[in-house]
Amino acid sequence: MSEQSTASQVAAVVQGHEVSEFGEFAPEARRGRVLAVTQVGEEVLHRRCADVGPELVGSAELAGLVDDMFRTMYAAEGVGLAANQVGVDLRLFVYDCPDDEGVRHVGHVVNPVLDERDLDVAVEVESEGCLSVPGPHADLGRAEHATVRGVDRDGQPVVVAGSGFFARCLQHESDHTVGKVYVDRLSKRERKRVLKRMEEMREQVLERRVERTEELVQELEGS
């Protein structure tokens, strides 16, 4: 039996596989463009997205979308982003997210399916936010562990599992692909509070995203 890997030995877990070296940004971001992020209330966020069909798998179109989504996620300073958050009606998300042990997880999942939660798995209540709800956060219960299954942009099987903060990310992004935003899981009173706070914070958040987009040009060219 081999020794377990530690955070210091693993630079990142990419597409579910440990790698010893990985850059500051996913390589896809260098090729991508920053797209506008949809906001809560826009129709594409509130219905189940279409499956990525076989005609798109392996295509330059799908690869380009993944590139754009990584670039957009970094510009918005997020750890995950679903396709409908850039206005594209497809079941797909990207992520670059640490777990509670500090291990970085990076990748994308096409047509993700979240495993049903084992009722014996604990639920953790932690603060959660969303790039499509710019600004506020709210406490929300999520399973401590999560596993998502799907394929990559070339159609190869992908299984991604995580715990803690990364498990929360997997559940949050999987929700997006079936038309659910995290505020939909809040009580009516808490949802109203969050949306009111969003209106107060939105302009400042969007201004910061413009600044970050400009900063990324220099950082990606220099990395």
DSSP 82-142: EGGGGT--SSEEEEEEE-TTS-EEEEEEEEEEEPPPPTTS-EEEEEEEETTEEEEEEEEEE
Neighbouring CB atoms inside 10 A of 115's CB total 15
Token pair for 9: 């030995």
Instruction: Answer yes or no: 207 catalytic.
Output: no
Give the closest residue to 17 by CA, choosing from 157, 184, 169.
Answer: 157
Catalytic residue among 55, 173, 207, 219, which?
173
Amino acid at 166: F
Q: Which of 140, 130, 132, 129 is nearest to 40 (CA)?
A: 132
Q: Dihedral, CA atoms, 175, 141, 126, 172, nearest 10 degrees?
A: -10
Residue numbers annotated as active site: 173
